[in-house]
Structure 1
């Protein structure tokens, strides 16, 4: 099944050198790794890519570099959401000019607008380019959720086509899926299997940075109706999911996992994120050893 955004999406980290600059060689190797392991959609400059620390120039450059490297083998979805509508519009236009295939738009955070304000923000960004838009509903980070009625209303926009759901409210997700054509993508690695079983179009995974092949297996098993295999795959991923998502921070541990595997040369993150403590790294190495085994 071919989908507008793909089905096995990864929230890609942004490889950095020890001095904090973007690591171009690490970026090229990471894109190659994601393509080789079955990723068909790469989210560039999202939260896992440390978007709050990326300048507008860096964000646009990343989209161009990943688009050139992927060369049509995967959809490139640019994270453009901020808490400032005008800035988000600028980033959307820059991403389109740099070659993005689609946009990821997070619910505006910190200022906690009304639902009418959320809708106006999303419409303004969707109107700024001709690219399809995936909304990102993540109340734990944004401070507010996109309510069911808001999502149903936004589904009427011709370019708003999907939702990355990190809210974890399956009844709400199922209600929106039943009443709109929006394609849902699970944004919580712990819930990948139940979301797929409830009709999600695919996954948008942090753990996919190092396990996109296993996520691909999970998607195939669910689509094939083999829930016994799907449950076994999800259980096999649980230690890695816990090590990456249940410790310091997803972006931090995903980078550490990639560095441990030799896919990127450094696990550098930008402040205010800090390197993972030794206890978290030990848990991660143990989970990676199980996954390899």
Structure 2
């Protein structure tokens, strides 16, 4: 089956938002975009969970997306995070991202207010009616407090501009139901589940670990696409401890920013209510990075 969101197949990196002394480090952000162009990352996604969107002001949120689109200059796709638990706000942010030149928008399920399934449907349908860029549904019930059920996602697939889903439920059954019941492109929202999802018909990943090891994730995807299953499995098992640490040591993106600081790629700053890793956690992370060969 041909899937309608294949323009987002491959590796999308969920970009961190670099901070310096509490402010967005615009120079560092531009450098991140350039880095991903150079290594061959397929797409970058600013202002998602990893980009600490909950603590960006509306002005900062728009500015980060504008900087990333401007720096990308058509050299790399941009899937801008523009979700909100207010439909009107999601429409506004998505329109701004479209105006800035984003190739698509990543829209997290409305969080906290826990809509009914019909509310989820109408939320995304309203955004789709308001903008002309491709939309990616981001389903992460561990953060939003409610699952967008597979039947609802398959119903959303009937809307032409809704092209893909970032699948972060951790449920292979849910992913299977979406893949068999729709022509949406399914992207893994969990680095450690990328290979299993590819085996079921998924097309790629929106990756946290891709901030650190984009070439290795691209290598795994390439091996799978060439039919070299053994090489893909080898990559998966090498990546697994790193992917595990990014999510298990503390809430994303705390461990990721700590890792980037250890590797000299970020200040490590996160905004409250997120707090830095403790010394013992940093020691564990340092060992994982060292075992991987990064330190």
- For the aligned pair, the TM-score class normalised by the smaller chain equals over 0.9
- Tell me the equivalent position of 1:5: 8
Query: Any stretches of 5+ residues in structure 1 without a counterpart?
Result: none
| 1:69-80 paired onto structure 2 within 5 Å | 69-80=71-82
Does structure 1 residue 273 correspond to structure 2 residue 242? no
State the Cα deviation string for residues 104-163 of structure 1 (Å, max 9, x = none): 011111111100001111111122210100000111111111111101110011100000
- Tell me the equivalent position of 1:130: 132
User: Residues of 2 paired with 1:159 and 1:240: CA distance?
Assistant: 35
Match among 140, 144, 147 for residue 146 of structure 2: 144
Match among 14, 28, 31 for residue 29 of structure 1: 31
Query: Any stretches of 5+ residues in structure 2 without a counterpart?
Result: none
- Tell me the equivalent position of 2:289: 288
- Tell me the equivalent position of 1:244: 246
User: Residues of 1 paired with 2:24 and 2:184: CA distance?
Assistant: 34
Q: Check whether the contact 1:33–1:263 (CA below 8 A) recurs between aligned residues.
A: no
State the Cα deviation string for residues 245-289 of structure 1 (Å, max 9, x = none): 11112211111222222223x111111101111122112222222
Q: Check whether the contact 1:28–1:66 (CA below 8 A) recurs between aligned residues.
A: yes
Shift of 1:35: 2.3
- Tell me the equivalent position of 2:186: 184
- Tell me the equivalent position of 2:113: 111
User: Residues of 1 paired with 2:212 and 2:201: CA distance?
Assistant: 25
Please give the secondary structure, in 1, of the residue aligned with 2:130: coil
User: Residues of 2 paired with 1:192 and 1:161: CA distance?
Assistant: 19
Report how many residues are paired: 291
Match among 81, 86, 89 for residue 88 of structure 2: 86
TM-score, scaled relative to structure 1: 0.95
- Tell me the equivalent position of 2:60: 58
Spell out structure 1 runs of 4+ moving beyond 6 A: none
User: Residues of 1 paired with 2:293 and 2:245: CA distance?
Assistant: 15
Q: Check whether the contact 2:50–2:208 (CA below 8 A) recurs between aligned residues.
A: yes
Please give the secondary structure, in 2, of the residue aligned with 1:250: coil
